[in-house]
Amino acid sequence: MTEWAPGVAEVPFRGRSPGELAAESNARGLGFDARELLRLRAYFQRERREPTDVELAGLAQSWSEHCSYKSSRPYLKRAFGGLHPPRVLGTGDAGVLRFTPDLSYAIRIESHNHPSAVEPYGGAATGIGGILRDILAVGGQPIALSDPLFFGPLDLDPTALPEGVKSPRYLAEGVIAGIRDYGNRVGVPTVSGGVYFDPSYVVNPLVNVGCVGILPRRRLRPNRARARGDRLVLAGGRTGRDGIGGVAFASRELTDRSESESRGAVQLGNPIMKEPLIHACLEAYDRDLVQGVKDLGGGGLASASGELVHAAGLGSRIDLDRVPLREEGLLPWEVWISESQERMLFDVRPGDVPAVLRIFQQHDVPATEIGEVTAGPFETLEWAGRPAAHLRVGFRIEAPPARRPRRLRPRRWRGAPRLPDDGIVALAEEMILAPDSVSREGLLRVYDHEVQGRTVVKPLQGRVVSPSHGDAAVLRPRAHDRSGLAVTTAAQPWACHDDPRRGAELVVEEAARSLYAVGARPDAFTNCLNFGNPEDPHVLGDFSAVTAGLGAAARILGFAVPSGNVSLYNGGLGAEIPPTPVLLATGIVPDLSRAATIDWKEVGNPLYLLGRSAPELGGSLWARRHGESLLRVPRPDPAGLRAIGETLLRAHAAGEVRAAHDVSDGGLAVALAEMGFGGGLGATIDLDRTGLDGPALALVAEGRSRIVVEVARRRAARFEARFRRLPAVRLGDVADGPLRLRWKGRDVGALDLPALYPRWRSGLGLP
CB 766 within 8 A of CB 443: yes
Which residues does 570 contact at the CB level (< 8 Å), separation at least 6? 113, 114, 204, 206, 253, 530, 531, 532, 577, 580
Rg of the chain (C-alpha set)? 27
Residue in 326, 329, 308 with CA at minimum distance from that of residue 318: 308
Q: How far apart are CA 238 and CA 508, in angstroms?
A: 41
Query: CA triplet 311, 317, 323: central angle to 5 degrees?
Result: 105
Exposed / middle / buried, residue 713 (Cβ in 10 Å: 0-12, 13-18, 19+): middle
Give the full edge-to-edge strand order of the sheet including 564-567. 455-457, 473-475, 484-491, 580-589, 521-530, 564-567
Longest pairwise C-alpha distance within the chain = 93
66 is a catalytic site residue: yes
Q: Is the dihedral of CA 736, 738, 743, 748 positive or negative?
A: negative
Exposed / middle / buried, residue 571 (Cβ in 10 Å: 0-12, 13-18, 19+): buried
- Which residue type sits at 302? A
Which residues does 708 contact at the CB level (< 8 Å), separation at least 6? 607, 608, 609, 610, 660, 661, 662, 663, 668, 671, 672, 675, 731
The three-state (H, E, C) secondary structure of 529-568, written as one string: EECCCCCCHHHHHHHHHHHHHHHHHHHHHCCECCCEEEEC
CB 657 within 8 A of CB 595: no
Which helix (H) or strand (E) segment is 55 a member of? helix 53-62
CA–centroid distance for 223 within its chain: 21
Residue in 191, 187, 170, 75 with CA at minimum distance from that of residue 124: 170
Q: How far apart are CA 143 and CA 215, in angstroms?
A: 10
449 is a catalytic site residue: no
Q: How far apart are CA 343 and CA 710, in angstroms?
A: 49
Q: How far apart are CA 333 and CA 345, in angstroms?
A: 18
Beta-carbon count within 10 A of 445 CB: 14
Q: Is the dihedral of CA 717, 719, 722, 724 positive or negative?
A: negative
Q: How far apart are CA 56 and CA 13, in angstroms?
A: 11
> Residue 586 phi/psi, 5° resolution?
-130, 155
Mapping DSSP to helix (H, G, I), strand (E, B) and coil, where does residue 357 land? helix
CB 666 within 8 A of CB 432: yes
Q: How far apart are CA 443 and CA 84, in angstroms?
A: 35
Catalytic choice (112, 310, 449, 469): 112
Mapping DSSP to helix (H, G, I), strand (E, B) and coil, where does residue 624 land? helix
Q: Which residues are catalytic?
A: 66, 112
